[in-house]
């Protein structure tokens, strides 16, 4: 049975996509079978693997439109042990197309029914806005992984996310935050440390011990169309995501 984790934060540019990509590939390097799902019209996760979203036969768009077909038909292999359901340009129009459909928040959940035997982890990367795609991601997930950018207003966005999770529990009762990940930590300033202290004081053991530093290699890798473990395996960014994969697995086991 796979563990389905949705990245979520109703704020852009906090490291959701970077985390889905880098954590997913790090889990695969540990021998886990990983499925990544790009349910964001920006298609950043898809492009991060060097896949051109305009050249795809199938994408998450067709999966949402025909959930009874399952998801395997739209799945492509992007790295060793890593499969991807890519996004496409068509996805931008899907929100309108599906507006009148009953159960439209549950389409992804339905499509993934047959994937649970195939994967150990399914990581879902939604857009920052709270719309149909984010709701589909949260409705399909067991746990939410929250990337929190260590800057002055880091904690401000949390109450809104917690309200959203409460709402989604009406259709997915067991949904809970599985972990909070401090990202984009700038160790040259004292501010990062101070914010991190506040986050840990407020959320305790929910906060991963691992902190993701600001690392230029993590920003460059998507432009090269490569996951960090291929682009710069020795970088601080790659090391941090390997440590996160270790920590996630030890948390789930104990």
Ligand X SMILES: Nc1ncnc2c1ncn2[C@@H]1O[C@H](COP(=O)(O)OP(=O)(O)OP(=O)(O)O)[C@@H](O)[C@H]1O
| Residues found near ligand X in the complex (CB under 6 A) | 12-18, 40, 42, 44, 127-128, 183-184, 212, 214-215, 218-219, 222, 237
Closest approach, Cβ 110 to Mg ion, in A, equals 24
215 is in the binding site of which of Mg ion, ligand X, none (Cβ under 5 to 8 A by kind)? ligand X
Sheet with 34-38, side-by-side order of all strands:
76-79, 82-85, 34-38, 121-125, 3-7, 143-149, 176-185, 207-213
29 is in the binding site of which of ligand X, Mg ion, none (Cβ under 5 to 8 A by kind)? none
Nearer to ligand X, 59 or 67 (CB): 59
Determine the Cα–Cα distance for residues 212 and 232; give it in Å rounded to an integer. 15
Distance of CA 179 to CAs 111, 144, 165, 206, 247, Å?
25, 7, 13, 5, 11
Nearer to ligand X, 33 or 230 (CB): 230
124 is in the binding site of which of ligand X, Mg ion, none (Cβ under 5 to 8 A by kind)? none
Determine the Cα–Cα distance for residues 48 and 81; give it in Å rounded to an integer. 16
Q: Which residue is nearest to Mg ion (CB)?
A: 17
Nearer to ligand X, 40 or 67 (CB): 40
235 is in the binding site of which of ligand X, Mg ion, none (Cβ under 5 to 8 A by kind)? none
183 is in the binding site of which of Mg ion, ligand X, none (Cβ under 5 to 8 A by kind)? ligand X
Determine the Cα–Cα distance for residues 241 and 230; give it in Å rounded to an integer. 13
Nearer to ligand X, 12 or 131 (CB): 12
User: In the chain, how long is the greatest CA-to-CA distance?
Assistant: 52
Nearer to Mg ion, 17 or 149 (CB): 17
- The residues that touch Mg ion, with contacts defined as CB under 5 A, are 16-17, 44
Structure tokens at 96: 């309108």
Element (H, E) at 24: helix 16-29
Cβ–Cβ < 8 Å for 120, 33: yes
Nearer to ligand X, 188 or 254 (CB): 188
Structure tokens at 16: 């959701």
Cβ–Cβ < 8 Å for 136, 24: no
Closest approach, Cβ 216 to ligand X, in A, equals 6
Closest approach, Cβ 21 to Mg ion, in A, equals 9
Closest approach, Cβ 68 to ligand X, in A, equals 29
Closest approach, Cβ 251 to ligand X, in A, equals 21
């Amino acid at each position: 049975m796979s563990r389905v984790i949705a990245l979520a934060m109703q704020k852009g540019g906090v490291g959701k996509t970077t985390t889905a990509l880098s954590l997913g590939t790090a889990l695969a390097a540990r021998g886990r079978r990983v499925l990544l799902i790009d349910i964001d019209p920006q298609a950043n996760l898809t492009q991060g693997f060097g896949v051109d979203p305009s050249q795809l036969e199938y994408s998450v768009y067709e999966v949402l439109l025909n959930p009874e077909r399952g998801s395997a038909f739209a799945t492509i292999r992007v790295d060793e042990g890593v499969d991807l359901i890519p996004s496409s340009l068509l996805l931008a129009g899907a929100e309108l197309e599906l507006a009148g459909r009953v159960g439209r928040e549950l389409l992804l959940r339905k499509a993934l029914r047959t994937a649970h035997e195939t994967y150990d982890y399914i990581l879902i990367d939604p857009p920052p806005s709270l719309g149909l795609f984010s709701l589909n991601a949260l409705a399909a997930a067991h746990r939410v992984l929250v990337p929190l950018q260590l800057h002055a207003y880091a904690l401000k966005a949390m109450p809104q996310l917690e309200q959203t999770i409460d709402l989604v529990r009406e259709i997915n009762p067991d949904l809970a935050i599985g972990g909070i990940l401090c990202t984009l930590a700038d160790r040259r300033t004292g501010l990062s440390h101070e914010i991190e202290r506040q986050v840990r004081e407020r959320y305790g053991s929910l906060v991963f011990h691992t902190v993701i530093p600001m690392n230029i290699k993590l920003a460059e890798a998507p432009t090269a169309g490569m996951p960090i473990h291929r682009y710069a395996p020795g970088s601080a960014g790659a090391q941090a995501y390997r440590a996160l994969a270790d920590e996630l697995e030890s948390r789930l086991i104990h």
